[in-house]
Amino acid sequence: MARQTALEGRRVTGPRGFPASRTARPFRGSRGIRRQLTVTPWLFLAPGLLIVGGFSLYPFLSTVAHSFTDARTLTAGRFVGGANYQELVHDALFWTGLRNSLLYVLGAVPLLVVLPLLLALLVQRQIPGIAFFRAAFYTPVVASVVVVGLVWVWLLDDRGLINALLEAVGFGRVGFLGDPWLLLLSAMAVTVWKGLGYYMIIYLAALADVPRELHEACAVDGAGPVRRFLTVTVPAVRSTMVLVAALSSVNAFKVFSEVYLMAGPTGGPGGEDTTLVMLVRQVGTGLSGRVGYASALSVVVFVLTLGLMLLVLRAQRREDG
């Protein structure tokens, strides 16, 4: 571990050859090799830097730049200052998208923090067949979100399996996909369903670190399972819970596919179910795409995603401090 941090590499200039301390390890001997080394690393890095620079960092800067222009897909556009951002504020669809994306975070994240933890506790004990159950619980993660979306569209259909079961137990049929609010809730449920296995695995690794002695001591003192869960397990995996909260809130905020599949490309009639990312795609793509405006939306998505992540991480730090 110590070596790994040292690798981060303070520049310790060692003597020629290998220094006595292994923490600094300049592979340099003769002059020739040193010169070769200044080129070699960049040859190794070239493909990665090219892709990451060309398709992540450059597009990011160009998105920011475009957001101050009125560019369209086929025309370059000119500088319009903050006009796009001003338009955002008055765009009802933007507020709907923002509302839905934030609601998605509020609805899905708490469930994605708690349920996978319970699931991990369920599959934690090494009992016969447990590997099968763990794998089975992970299958929704492996499947494409499109497959998952379509599977649930069929299940939640007006005459689908879930409505048949609801009717059998005496509830009436529910139009899950007809009402904008119910549709949004259903989409959240699908997101949670698909994410459970993924976060379960993360929790499973964290649970392995919880000292068994703590549980035993607690049990000896007469604490029941619920009490032990709250006083031993939760504090022990709290940093993992923060991690899961950060990951899942970022993902929930950027939700696209589930709602796109269930509500349609524009988020249903009047765009009631549209999300921010759906709006970016809708506004900015195609031959008549309003690149400038979509870029402003993209910047908002970026800022809020980052803000959300920082917010969760800060909440963690405050608790620790």
Partner 1 sequence: MSAVVDMRSRAEGRTGGGRRMPVRRRRPTGRRRLPTLRYLLLLAVLALSVGPFLWQLSTSLKGPGEDLYRYPPSLVPHEVTLGNYAGVARIIPVWDFALNSLKVAAANVLTNCAGAALAGYALARMRFRGRRTALLMFITAMLVPVESIMIAQFLTMRQLQLNNTLLGVVLPACIGAMNVLLMRNAFAGLPYEVEEAAYVDGATAWQRFVRIALPSVKGTLAVVAIFAFMGAWDDFLWPLIVLSDQSKFTLTVGLNFLHGTFADNQRLVAAGTVIAVLPLMVLFACLQRYFFRGLGEGAVKG
Residues 210-249 that bind partner 1 (CB under 8 A): 211-212
Q: Shortest approach of partner 1 to residue 82 CB, angstroms?
A: 18
Q: Shortest approach of partner 1 to residue 315 CB, angstroms?
A: 19
- Total chain residues near partner 1 (CB under 8 A): 103
Question: In Å, how far from its chain's centre is CA 58?
Answer: 22
* Per CB under 8 A, 310 contacts partner 1: no
Q: CA-based angle 47:52:55, to the nearest 5?
A: 115
* Per CB under 8 A, 153 contacts partner 1: yes
Q: Choose which of 21, 40, 86, 239 interacts with partner 1 (CB under 8 A).
A: 40
| Amino acid present at 256 | F
* Per CB under 8 A, 195 contacts partner 1: no
CA torsion angle 133 261 286 269 (round to 10): -160
- Name residues contacting partner 1, limited to 75-114 (CB under 8 A): none
Stretch that binds partner 1, among 80-88, 209-217, 228-236, 313-321 (CB under 8 A): 209-217
Closest to partner 1 by CB, 144 or 319? 144
Provide the b/e sequence for 229-242 (b: ≥16 CB within 10 Å). beebbeebbeebbb
How far apart CA 185 and CA 107 sit, in angstroms, is 8
Closest to partner 1 by CB, 43 or 321? 43
* Per CB under 8 A, 31 contacts partner 1: no
* Per CB under 8 A, 193 contacts partner 1: yes
* Per CB under 8 A, 209 contacts partner 1: yes
Q: Give the list of residues 6+ apart from residue 77 with CB closer than 8 angstroms, or none.
A: 66, 69, 70, 71, 291, 292
How far apart CA 258 and CA 277 sit, in angstroms, is 12
How far apart CA 239 and CA 198 sit, in angstroms, is 17
* Per CB under 8 A, 288 contacts partner 1: no
